[in-house]
Structure 1
């Protein structure tokens, strides 16, 4: 079986430098898989006996869950099976200024944090509070959180908790509620995204090993893009992807080399494939 790596991104803009790099250094081929819908796009490149596929999902948790689940389902139905590792990569907002803009972190747990209802006084009620989902019902843990049981691929980055939302947070009351909810918890709450928990959920549903790396582009609060450093965050993100996909996977990793996660489990690059998701 050909060794394959998949990069999944929310928007093409986020990985334009990486795609340009691949167009100069790899051969593009016609893929057998076609992503559903009119927004998503699937690209495929190869070098020697290795492939890199790029899946552009569209923004948000719904698009991410649909596209990742569709791809994993296709792999299973076609007999190709799971990838050896799925990696979610992208930018994120940070709840704390302890991490400078452009800092990469590994998200090791994540949760849906605006999935529920408000009561008459404006208090948020999660789907767990309303009894629509049960805590501790797989793949959720006793707190209603999605864990990555095999984190550690990006061992050089600090492990953090992330929250996934449909709309980026701006109201101080909501931000403080989340900080209080996760106060004292390890790993501590650091990042806000619009896709990661959906990625966790799809991977857990298909028993797919995965990892998640995010680069901090802004601080969570009143939306003011003048205070963001999106160019620097995207530059760091593309460097991470290019190194792990092209320079590392395609040119350095041998077929029998394995990576050990923090729990001692091995991720091999030989007979299976690797996914990257932004």
Structure 2
């Protein structure tokens, strides 16, 4: 089982590889550096859906993988995903891909083209949630981090099953889909989605939670097989 894990920044990448204990083997692919730790190839692909999609696509083209995982810290929707908790994706959702209209936001699917969500395998979501204690639900990909109460309310109205938001998940999912590889997203909650209060963020605690999560997740990933790849979430 070979798993590509894509984070946004090196500190998240290092939090993931730290779970395996050994010093990772470092190798380069075009435009990126991959840290190999056991079954995991971990790549800091950059912030935002475009950077993560491009980085993941290059890595997926350079080697053969059984699974792609978007991982890192992110915002959690209160009260279901409090600070320091974990969220795992039942759906990876592009929350702001579409059109703004006088009647409100229209997702890309209602415009008649593209897609707005990817569905990870149900069995893998269940196993990951059980092993790590993560809350399963929609993880929203946004290009702009939410920082107001109004925007938070709008996101929850459109996505009532949302548990967390990030900036990279949908990009990784798009690249994985093109490569024919299933995808999963897992986030350690560093801040509450809502009015921006940088002083209240707990990045260190979230990174520690991310390391602990992958310590528990690695046996799950090693035991999961590709025959489950079409077992997508509801």
Partner Cα distance (2:177, 2:164) in 1? 20
Q: The residue matched to 1:155 in structure 2 has which SS?
A: helix
Provide the rounded CA distance (Å) in 2 between the counterparts of 1:260 and 1:146: 19
> Is the 8 Å Cα contact of residues 218 and 228 (structure 1) preserved in structure 2?
yes
Deviation (angstroms), 1:236: 0.8
TM, length-normalised to structure 1: 0.68
Q: Which runs of 5+ in 2 are unaligned?
A: 230-234
Partner of residue 103, structure 1: 85
1:194-209 → structure 2 map (5 Å cutoff): 194-209=167-182
Per the alignment, residue 153 of structure 2 pairs with 176
Q: Secondary structure at the match of 1:25?
A: coil
Please give the alpha-carbon distance, in whole angstroms, between the structure 1 residues aligned to 2:158 and 2:39: 42
1:265 aligns with 2:228: yes
CA contact (8 A) 2:77 2:193 kept: yes
Normalising by the residue count of structure 2, what TM-score does the alignment of the two structures yield?
A: 0.80
C-alpha separation between the residues in 1 aligned to 2:228 and 2:25? 33
2:109 aligns with one of 118, 125, 128: 128
CA RMSD across the alignment: 3.1
Compared CA separation, residues 128 and 210, structure 1 to 2 (3 A): closer
CA deviation map 1:132-164 (0-9, x unaligned): x15xxxxx4xxx432223433403133111111
Structure 1 alignment gaps of length 5 or more: 76-80, 135-139, 267-278
For residue 13 of structure 1, what is the aligned residue in structure 2?
Answer: 11
Does 2:34 correspond to 1:42? yes
Higher helix proportion: 2
With over 3 angstroms needed to count, the CA separation of the structure-2 counterparts of 1:52 and 1:211, relative to structure 1, is: closer
Compute the displacement of 1:168 (Å): 0.4
